[in-house]
């Protein structure tokens, strides 16, 4: 499993969130190369979103062949951009193209409030890869009227079906991903993974009956297809060359074939060969072969993520969204953090898990801090700050995994953040001082522990199905909470000081605990609309972890709820006991995963992770209004452009940046718009 979309709010508060990663630095000489970014890295600010740019330190130190490799891999990623739009909602591509046509052809009054609201709406849609908010999953509501929009359509000769116009303004398909069982997991979700008339029960039975040839090495069934019903019979439309999304996939394949010719070594080339074959055939066994080869290809300076990977957007946990990240190794930070990989077995042996749930041999956990060169699909514009892949438990157990921290992304977040919001929500001066002194380090370590140790920890009992089969819609949040708990348990441990990762393990751990509880019980609520419940898996896990330890520690007053001058704070009074509570919850969470205990997972998430204290939420929103920093942020990508001499030879690849967010979005639509409106 991997990734969470990080926010300025989170980094400004040095919050610890799951499946993300730490600030890192640069490729050759971090002290000299790491630029001191300022607020000038902001490209655009609209609604609740700020768009930033990230730098690519160390680019000039790469060889021409390495730059070419990055360029080809980046083009492969961008070529799949339209796929995520269509996956997010079946009408997204038509809507986007209509909005862009208006934007480029409108000659009316551009000083009006309505036009400003239209521009903001289009930017929000661009940022979310569709008409549903990238984080809350709620449909984005235009701040202009339907009548004004119809004027824009007529004034620019833009054709858009009246039914689609209505959708922008009514409550149809109001939630991208619905996890409320009472509304129907598929029926209540707008994502384009299931055809009309298919119920969650039908889909679940369909995939339960799809047996893998080797039960011990289960295929990722349903990962790369849309499930449809034809003449009353369920079938899969596979995403492959010649199949659904074939026009974009053919472009991806073309660039991957070029990348294969300049791979740094044979292992990289072999992994790319499997990935190309997978895209051509859609065969899930080939996908496993690719992941096995990819995870063993650890040599070289360049690496990438490309494929249908994360299943967070599928309420049933089968379908993978397209994403791509191309990265350059940060040698200095990777070396420093590699110590965690080497100690993975020690951490596993010292977890509070039941003995039968501990791995006897933790294998192949590689950890690197990297410099991002490009992102696409589900990783852009809103990006993770860390990744741990592959997702298949059996591959992780037999072959290991790769954990990466997106160092330059975190640097860019840090440059744009601030401390004012943190000061508003800390309980006292001591808590503030701990956060300011140790918060960033604690965040780095928590992410590293989460990715390297957390996702590699624990094992499923023999005969128990995969989490998506047993825990179903709760699988993602349970896995992220489990990995968070591993990190939290070991953040407050002298082992970190023994490994020379910290100089005061207790102070770092205290800062980490303060930040996690403050975020889980209060600060993350700024992302929700008034009255909303929590749907997003990572937000759920932060709340159920925090709420559970808060409740279980009430007898001993481990965490106190303090109300002072009409403002609420949470104050940890006993860090040792909180550490023990995290351990108890970790043990139970692993038991649930190991035994496939659906009812226990449901009770834990529904009782602690979904409902929102509306009075606290109202207070958080009111206290947050004073700050300029947007709750959400993401990035434009740099342009990587070939430098061609008079003989037509490529002599270099240079980095440039778009002048605006709109410029890049329109350019991407023009250059990488390979799919039809309807797929």
pLDDT tens digits, residue range 637-667?
999 999 999 999 999 999 999 999 999 999 9
The strand pair at 49-53 and 632-636 is best described as parallel
CB contact at 8 A, 391 and 19: no
32 to 29, 226, 413: CA distances (angstroms): 6, 49, 20
Task: Name the pLDDT band for 24 (thresholds 50, 70, 90).
Answer: very low
Task: Name the pLDDT band for 364 (thresholds 50, 70, 90).
Answer: low
pLDDT at res. 487:
96
Q: What is the mean pLDDT of residues 97-103?
A: 98
pLDDT at res. 22:
28
CA angle (330, 321, 528) in 5-degree steps: 90
For residue 516, give every residue at least 6 positions away whose Cβ sits within 8 Å of its Cβ, in sequence order, or none: 15, 16, 446, 484, 488, 542, 545, 546
Alpha helices for 266-320 (secondary structure H): 266-281, 284-296
Residue (of 148, 139, 153) closest to 98 by Cα position? 153
pLDDT at res. 30:
27
* DSSP bridge partners of 236: 227
Which pTM does this prediction carry? 0.79
pLDDT at res. 27:
26
- How far is it, in rounded angstroms, from Cα 329 to Cα 368? 7
For residue 57, give every residue at least 6 positions away whose Cβ sits within 8 Å of its Cβ, in sequence order, or none: 25, 26, 27, 30, 33, 34, 35, 371, 408
Higher pLDDT pick, 25 / 269: 269
pLDDT tens digits, residue range 267-286?
999 999 999 999 999 999 99
- How far is it, in rounded angstroms, from Cα 8 to Cα 20? 14
For residue 202, give every residue at least 6 positions away whose Cβ sits within 8 Å of its Cβ, in sequence order, or none: 234
- Helix orientation angle between 537-552 and 575-595, rounded to the nearest 10 degrees: 130
- How far is it, in rounded angstroms, from Cα 93 to Cα 319? 19
Q: Which helix (H) or strand (E) holds 497?
A: helix 495-498
Both tokens assigned to 509: 């751990």
**Could you give phi then psi for residue 486, rounded to 5 degrees?**
-60, -45
pLDDT tens digits, residue range 172-202?
999 999 988 899 999 999 999 999 999 999 9
Task: Give percent above pLDDT 90 in the chain.
Answer: 80
Q: How many C-beta atoms lie closer than 10 Å to residue 562's C-beta? A: 12
pLDDT tens digits, residue range 587-606?
999 999 999 999 999 999 99
CB contact at 8 A, 573 and 591: no
pLDDT at res. 416:
73
Q: What is the mean pLDDT of residues 14-30?
A: 30
Across all residues in the chain, what is the average pLDDT?
91
Residue (of 293, 328, 270, 321) closest to 71 by Cα position? 328
pLDDT tens digits, residue range 286-338?
999 999 999 999 999 999 999 999 999 999 999 999 999 999 988 766 776 78
Task: Give percent above pLDDT 70 in the chain.
Answer: 93
498 to 322, 340, 344, 445: CA distances (angstroms): 41, 12, 14, 14
Higher pLDDT pick, 492 / 630: 492
Structural domain spans, the chain: 8-61+301-627, 81-182, 183-238
Task: Name the pLDDT band for 417 (thresholds 50, 70, 90).
Answer: low
Task: Inform me whether the pLDDT recorded for 9 exceeds 70.
Answer: no
CB contact at 8 A, 592 and 586: no
pLDDT tens digits, residue range 439-476?
988 988 898 899 889 988 999 999 999 898 999 999 99
Task: Inform me whether the pLDDT recorded for 145 exceeds 70.
Answer: yes
- How far is it, in rounded angstroms, from Cα 404 to Cα 341? 12
Both tokens assigned to 296: 């063993």
């Amino acid at each position: 499993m991997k990734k969470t979309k990080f926010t300025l709010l989170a980094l400004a508060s040095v919050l610890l969130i799951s499946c993300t990663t730490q600030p890192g630095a640069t490729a050759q000489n971090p002290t000299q190369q790491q630029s001191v970014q300022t607020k000038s890295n902001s490209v655009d600010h609209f609604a609740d979103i700020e768009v930033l740019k990230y730098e690519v330190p160390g680019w000039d130190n790469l060889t021409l062949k390495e730059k070419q490799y990055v360029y080809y891999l980046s083009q492969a990623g961008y070529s799949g951009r339209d796929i995520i739009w269509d996956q997010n909602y079946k009408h997204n591509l038509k809507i986007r193209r209509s909005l862009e046509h208006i934007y480029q052809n409108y000659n009316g009054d551009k000083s009006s409030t309505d036009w400003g609201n239209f521009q903001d709406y289009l930017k929000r849609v661009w940022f979310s890869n569709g008409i549903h908010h990238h984080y809350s999953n709620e449909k984005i509501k235009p701040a202009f009227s339907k009548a004004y929009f119809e004027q824009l359509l007529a004034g620019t000769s833009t054709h858009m079906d009246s039914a689609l116009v209505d959708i922008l303004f009514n409550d149809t398909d109001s939630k991208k991903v619905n996890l409320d069982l009472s509304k129907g997991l598929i029926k209540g979700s707008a994502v384009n993974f299931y055809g009309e008339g298919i119920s969650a029960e039908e889909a679940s039975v369909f995939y339960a009956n799809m047996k893998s040839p080797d039960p011990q090495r289960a295929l990722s069934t349903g990962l790369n297809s849309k499930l449809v019903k034809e003449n009353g019979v369920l079938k899969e439309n596979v995403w492959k060359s010649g199949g659904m999304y074939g026009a974009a996939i053919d472009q991806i394949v073309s660039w991957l074939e070029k990348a294969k010719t300049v791979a740094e070594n044979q292992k990289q080339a072999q992994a790319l060969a499997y990935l190309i074959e997978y895209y051509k055939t859609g065969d899930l066994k080939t996908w496993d072969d690719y992941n096995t080869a990819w995870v063993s290809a650890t040599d070289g300076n360049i690496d990438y993520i490309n494929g249908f990977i994360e299943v967070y957007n599928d309420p049933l946990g089968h379908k993978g969204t397209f994403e791509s990240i191309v990265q350059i190794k940060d040698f200095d930070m990777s070396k420093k953090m590699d110590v965690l990989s080497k100690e993975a077995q020690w951490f596993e042996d010292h977890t509070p898990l039941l003995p039968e749930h501990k791995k006897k041999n933790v294998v192949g956990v590689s950890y690197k801090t990297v410099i991002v060169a490009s992102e696409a699909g589900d990783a852009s514009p809103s990006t993770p700050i860390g990744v741990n892949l592959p997702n298949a438990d059996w591959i992780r157990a037999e072959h290991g995994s790769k954990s990466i921290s997106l160092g330059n992304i975190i640097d860019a977040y840090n440059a744009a953040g601030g401390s004012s919001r943190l000061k508003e929500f800390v309980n006292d001066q001591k808590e503030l001082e701990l956060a300011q002194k140790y918060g960033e380090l604690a965040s780095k370590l928590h992410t590293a522990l989460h990715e390297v140790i957390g996702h590699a920890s624990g094992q499923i009992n023999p005969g128990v199905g995969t989490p998506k089969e047993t825990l179903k819609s709760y699988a993602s949040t349970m896995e992220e909470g489990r990995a968070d708990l591993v990190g939290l348990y070991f953040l407050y441990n002298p082992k970190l000081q023994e490994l020379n990762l910290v100089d005061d393990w207790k102070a770092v751990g205290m800062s980490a605990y303060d930040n996690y509880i403050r975020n889980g019980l209060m600060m993350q609520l700024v992302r929700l609309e008034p009255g909303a419940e929590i749907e997003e898996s990572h937000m759920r896990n932060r709340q159920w972890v925090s709420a559970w330890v808060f409740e279980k520690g009430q007898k001993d007053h481990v965490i106190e709820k303090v109300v002072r001058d009409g403002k609420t704070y949470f104050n940890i009074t006993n860090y040792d006991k909180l550490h023990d509570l995290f351990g108890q919850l970790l043990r139970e969470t692993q038991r649930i995963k190991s035994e496939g205990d659906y009812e226990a997972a449901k009770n834990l998430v529904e009782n602690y992770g979904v409902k929102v204290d509306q009075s606290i939420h109202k207070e958080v929103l009111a206290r947050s209004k004073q700050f300029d920093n947007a709750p959400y942020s993401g990035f434009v990508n740099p342009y990587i452009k070939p430098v061609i001499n008079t003989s037509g030879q490529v002599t270099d690849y240079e980095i440039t940046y778009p002048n605006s967010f709109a410029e890049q979005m329109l350019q991407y639509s023009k250059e990488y718009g390979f799919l039809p409106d309807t797929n």
